[in-house]
Structure 1
Amino acid sequence: MNEKEWVSPSQIAMLLLAFTLGSSIVFIPGPVIAAAGNGAWLSVIISGAAGIPGLLSILYLHHIYPSKSSFQYLGDVFGKWMGTLFSLLILFVLILMISNITVGVGSFFSSTMMLETPTYVFNFLILMVCALTALAGIEVTARLFVLFLMMMLATIFVILFLDLGKYHPDNLLPQLAEGISPIMHGAIINHGFPYSEMFVFSALLFFIRPAKNESTGKFMFFAYFANMIIFLGVVLCASMIFGKAAGTRNFTLYEMARVIEITGVFERIEMIAGITLIAGSYIKSTIALLALSSGFAHIFKLKDSRTVILPVSLLMFFISMSMFSTEMESNTFWTLIWPAITTCATIPIVLAAVVTLIKNAFKGS
């Protein structure tokens, strides 16, 4: 294992913000609005609140086991066999996650920008770039992704600002016209992508360099709430621009950029939104790949986690090419099945935190 690599609490928080924004800022607002309608902003708040116990559990377990990843302390909490089963479940979900993101990138390119290029070209390229970045290690990755995060944030704010003249606040009315059920449906979709995916960081926090003057919890929660605010802003702005039609837009931020047109100044700015999607997907896949390689190294007692990165990336390329036969299948997976899968991966972390808390309480008494 490469345990001599270190990142600071502020760097890991930046990675969290980049990960939770990632591809979700482009892919998910549309499905959430389609499910919740004008109340999609409430879905964002509910899903964000539902993700807080998971983040608290991750931070608590990191406090108790600062030098161990989830693949190690799950065995300490539940025993060797049960801990291994939970760890294998997390590995399986990570493989699905990276493959799923790769499918999304390929679908985006093949349906918007480069219609005649085979999807496998995009899938292979994004996975290979992620693999090469992960091979550089988490220290290099953390420094690099700060730059990409700044680019993503700048792009999002520029698009929202340039769309100012197209906002129609009356499109947000009426609220709760169909009751609470659509809002909860939207919250489930948004919770599954990205808030219940934070279990990934339970495998990475052991890379944090101990620092007395930096609070990991404060930085992580700042990044978490920053994501919620940005996501909320994109959902509200998309609803004000497109109204009910916002739910039919597959790549919401990209579509918001397409309607920007200042003749002679800004035209075809949607290409910048496309760059944001690519950068976000690249960031998210690489972070998940780092967690995946760390998990393989801990479970199978490998000396160097980098040895599995290229073989696993090749495996995920083939999975991404065979996961779905139609775009409808992939949309159904993202909106219905994926939230359940990521919740299953989060439950062992939350249970481990609860069990550890109870054990420590009894010891204290």
Structure 2
Amino acid sequence: MMEKKAAVPISAFQMSLLLFAFMTGSAIINIPGPIISEAFGGAWISLLFSGAAGLLLLGCLLFLHRAEPDLSYVECSKKALGTAVTFALSVMTVPFLLHIVTGIVIDVGLFMNSSMLRETPNTVFNLAIFAIAALTARAGIEVMARMFALILMLIIPLTVIVLALAIPNYQFANLLPVFPYGWRPIWHGAYSSFGFPFEEIFVFGMLLKYTRKEDRTFLGRSLAKGFSSCILFLILSTLCTLMLFGPLAPIKKYSLFELARIIEAFEIIQRIESVIGMSLIAGSYMKESIALFVLAHFVSDLFKLKDARAIMMPLALIGFLNSLVSYDSNTEWIEIVNVMHPLWAFGGFTLPLLLTAALIGIKRRRSGARASGSADSSG
């Protein structure tokens, strides 16, 4: 076993960029169509509700970080709940992290195979992304923070430009009615979008300890801005999809890609859907690298391994093999994402996080009360 290499801390701003990259990642392509099919004209309201719930989870993560700034989520859980309970809760968490690592790559393969390179087998895309993401994760969080900042500086402006070029085709009347079937579809859309992507904010419980000590005082503010930017970006994409496609929006699975296909500006700017395609690949690569990094460190902290880098390649191989047997058809994969993913996320992410935060809060209050009682008695 190689010696453990100390991780280089990153700034609060870099951590917020990692958060934005992870949360938008593949969601910028995958969210608008499915959420509109569930909530119709009120899809943007669903995103507001689910985003607000995601901010509450972020608040729990920041509470744990303030209580134990040098510990990861697993280490906090062991301290609060004990090793046995942490292992019991991780029975759902570790497989779900592996599911996320696998699902990100499956989504890229399905997109490429259905939209851009129809004759190329999915295994080619899957193997390439797993290999590159594993190498990136092994390089460490500082390398990812620097590299992903450059990628975001490229894909965010390009995506905004694509949305702006489609302005002549937008019809504001398509935003109405907002509640064609009442509130039930809105809540259904909020439940679905909370499971993906907002509930996945849990993974940053393994990353916050890598923030520089001098930046920890304003880490919460920086992460809140990054998370809010993600919510607004997804809402903007959803509104643009609604304004362009109207009643057809629910059947557009990769709606932003379809949006880009209709843009022809100045008779020379054509086929710019490739920009959106490259943005999806880049975003998914960033999210995959972070997810694989977190999975390796979660397992390493759980079993007290010396170096998480030693298991990143084996985990990537397991994820690749899992991508070959996880589903039999596109319809089955969509059902897994829409039905099983939110429930699994609650059991594997939200419930353990809330339980850990609650117990640490109770212990801190009790210790504070004892300290106050001791001071009063001595006085």
Give the TM-score normalised by the residue count of structure 1: 0.97
Code of the residue aligned with 1:162 in structure 2: it is L
Q: Which residue does 1:26 correspond to in 2?
A: 29
Instruction: Output one character per residue of 1:243-270: Cα deviation in whole Å (capped at 9) or x when no partner.
Output: 1211111112111111111253210000
Instruction: Output one character per residue of 1:138-194: Cα deviation in whole Å (capped at 9) or x when no partner.
Output: 111110011111222112211110010011010111121211111111111111111
Residues of 2 paired with 1:152 and 1:252: CA distance? Answer: 17
Alignment partner of 2:272 out of 269, 274, 280? 269
Note the aligned Cα RMSD (angstroms). Answer: 1.3
Q: Which residue does 2:135 correspond to in 1?
A: 132
Residues of 2 paired with 1:211 and 1:266: CA distance? Answer: 47
Alignment partner of 1:355 out of 356, 359, 362? 359
Contact 2:11/2:215, CA 8 A, preserved across alignment: no
Contact 2:7/2:141, CA 8 A, preserved across alignment: no
- Aligned pair count reads 365
Deviation at 1:64, TM superposition (A): 0.8
Contact 1:74/1:87, CA 8 A, preserved across alignment: no
Deviation at 1:86, TM superposition (A): 2.2
Secondary structure of the residue that 2:214 maps to in structure 1? coil
Residues of 1 paired with 2:265 and 2:74: CA distance? Answer: 52
Matched, 1:280 2:289: no
Q: Which residue does 1:57 correspond to in 2?
A: 60
Find the structure with the greater CA-based Rg.
2
Contact 1:76/1:83, CA 8 A, preserved across alignment: no
Contact 2:9/2:142, CA 8 A, preserved across alignment: yes
Matched, 1:291 2:274: no
Residues of 2 paired with 1:129 and 1:62: CA distance? Answer: 30
Secondary structure of the residue that 2:253 maps to in structure 1? coil
Residues of 2 paired with 1:178 and 1:33: CA distance? Answer: 13
Q: Which residue does 2:377 correspond to in 1?
A: none
Code of the residue aligned with 1:24 in structure 2: it is A
Show structure 1 runs of 4+ deviating over 6 A. none
Q: Which residue does 1:186 correspond to in 2?
A: 189
Q: Which residue does 2:119 correspond to in 1?
A: 116
Unaligned runs of 5+ in 2: 370-379
Deviation at 1:88, TM superposition (A): 4.1
Q: 1:235 to 1:218 in 2, by over 3 A?
A: same
Matched, 1:314 2:317: yes
Code of the residue aligned with 1:15 in structure 2: it is L
Unaligned runs of 5+ in 1: none
Residues of 1 paired with 2:342 and 2:45: CA distance? Answer: 18
Contact 1:32/1:190, CA 8 A, preserved across alignment: yes
Give the TM-score normalised by the residue count of structure 2: 0.94
Residues of 2 paired with 1:325 and 1:138: CA distance? Answer: 35
Residues of 2 paired with 1:212 and 1:41: CA distance? Answer: 33
Residues of 2 paired with 1:309 and 1:210: CA distance? Answer: 27
